[in-house]
Amino acid sequence: MTANLFQTYALNKTLSLKNRILMAPLTRCMADDELIPTQDMADYYGRRGEAGLIISEAVIIRPDGQGYPNTPGLFTPAQIDGWRTVTNAVHQNGGKIFAQLWHTGRVAHPHFYQTTGSQDVMAPSAVGVEGSVPRKRELTYQIPKAVSVEEIALLVSDYSQAAANAIDAGFDGVEIHGANGYLIDQFLHHDSNRRSDQYGLTPENMSRFALEVVDAIVARIGNDRTALRVSPGAYFNMAGDSRDRDVFDYLIPELEKRDLAFLHIGIFDDAMEFDYLGGRASSYVRSIYSKTLVGVGSFTAETGSKAIADDKFDLLAIGRPFIANPDYVERVRDGKDLVEYSDEMLTSLI
């Protein structure tokens, strides 16, 4: 019933996956205080080497990208060394792993990085989000600073440096985090992008930052090792706007031209529908993108297998069930019961 999940899948000439099940990126807030991955993290990822591809938890590209406690980084030599331990553990168990590259933009909090000298929260425009940091409710979100064109150029080069660091650390590639209301996504939605310069107002301008990051990373590590996650449907840290549709109508065909390793939808439940997309985010992207698409969001192996059979997408990413079941792939293959996920499981790495 789920046999298609166990077919091999060639992403391109250089990367081939042993099955179609990806481990979705899952922030765990378990890096040490220098944001270095620990041995426990290496063991945790190593146990999941049966996945066709692991996408790491989101990894910040520089200090002011941090919005949650103890999220790992990829900008110091010690962090690169820590990740090398993780990638070795995955490779020893026959797996593959991409790093998810992250800057939280307006959802960053200086509490986490003020010792590095910066107090600024960087975003396309000075439009804040309501509320406070999960797990640190005393930290309320600040009004961000609208980044200058010079600061944007530096962000682009910091993304490409982090991608090079990822390859140095032994990752098989990178997934750029362009989803879920974080920095890149903030440029792509009218709610957070109120600029009127070459990075705002029109679909082409609003897509410029995302494409500059993609192009800089592709130039550095190759399109075969570069992937992107996007959320055309705003649902987290963001309000949707019917004009956002035009932005993605422009962006997605541009991405198609780049021939990336894959495009991945950022969503918690694929059944969510968006008026301005005419339905599900995955159906919308599928209708204008013909290359490898990763679906995700409250799927079981059975419903995901059916979605692949129905040509809704090509690869299935599994999040919460992978937290609860390190041996998720074996259990599905052997028809064994799964342990049900619960939020309390977030306090330890099994």
Parallel, antiparallel or unpaired: strands 136-140 and 263-265:
unpaired
> Are 68 and 29 spatial neighbours (Cβ–Cβ below 8 Å)?
yes
Q: How far apart are CA 234 and CA 158, in angstroms?
A: 26
**Residue 187 binding partner per list ligand FNR, ligand 8K6, none, with a CB distance cut-off of 5 to 8 Å that depends on partner kind:** none
* Residue 268 binding ligand 8K6, by CB under 6 A: yes
List the catalytic residues.
182
Task: Kindly tell me the number of DSSP H helices and DSSP E strands found in the chain.
Answer: 10, 16
Burial zone of 9 (CB within 10 Å; 0-12 exposed, 13-18 middle, 19+ buried) = buried
- Report the residue number, 159 or 235, with the smaller CB distance to ligand 8K6: 235
Q: Which two tokens stand for residue 168?
A: 């140095």
Residue 189 in contact with ligand FNR, rule: CB under 6 A: no
Residue 135: contacted member of ligand FNR, ligand 8K6, none (CB under 5 to 8 Å, by partner type):
ligand 8K6
Helix (H) or strand (E) run with residue 265 in it: strand 263-265
Is residue 281 a contact residue for ligand FNR (CB under 6 A)?
Answer: no
Q: Which of 2, 5, 21, 25 binds ligand FNR (CB under 6 A)?
A: 25
Q: What is the distance between the alpha carbons of residues 64 and 111, in angstroms, rounded to a whole number? A: 10
- C-beta separation of 226 from 174 below 8 A: yes
- Looking at the Cβ atoms of 236 and 289, the one nearer to ligand 8K6 is 236
Do the Cβ atoms of 342 and 320 come closer than 8 Å?
Answer: no
- Residue 220 within binding range of ligand FNR, rule CB under 6 A: no
Q: Which is nearer to ligand FNR, 38 or 202 (CB)?
A: 38
Taking CB within 5 to 8 Å according to partner kind, which of ligand FNR, ligand 8K6, none is near residue 72?
A: none
Q: Are strands 132-133 and 136-140 parallel, antiparallel or unpaired?
A: antiparallel
* Residue matched to tokens 């409250």: 298
CB of 149 to ligand FNR, least distance (A): 27
> How many chain residues touch ligand 8K6 (CB under 6 A)?
8
Site string for ligand 8K6, 218-257 (x = CB under 6 A): -----------------xx---------------------
Helix spans in 222-280 (H): 244-258
Among 95, 105, 295, 319, the residue binding ligand FNR under the rule CB under 6 A is 319
Contact 75, 173 (CB under 8 A): no
| Residue 134 partner contact from ligand 8K6, ligand FNR, none using kind-dependent CB cut-offs of 5 to 8 Å | ligand 8K6
CA quadruple 57, 63, 66, 72: dihedral, nearest 10: 30
Residues 298-317 that bind ligand FNR (CB under 6 A): 298
- Least CB distance from residue 202 to ligand FNR, whole Å? 27
Residues in touch with ligand FNR (CB under 6 A): 24-27, 57-58, 100, 177, 179-180, 229, 266, 268, 296-298, 318-321, 346
Residues in touch with ligand 8K6 (CB under 6 A): 27, 29, 68, 134-135, 235-236, 268
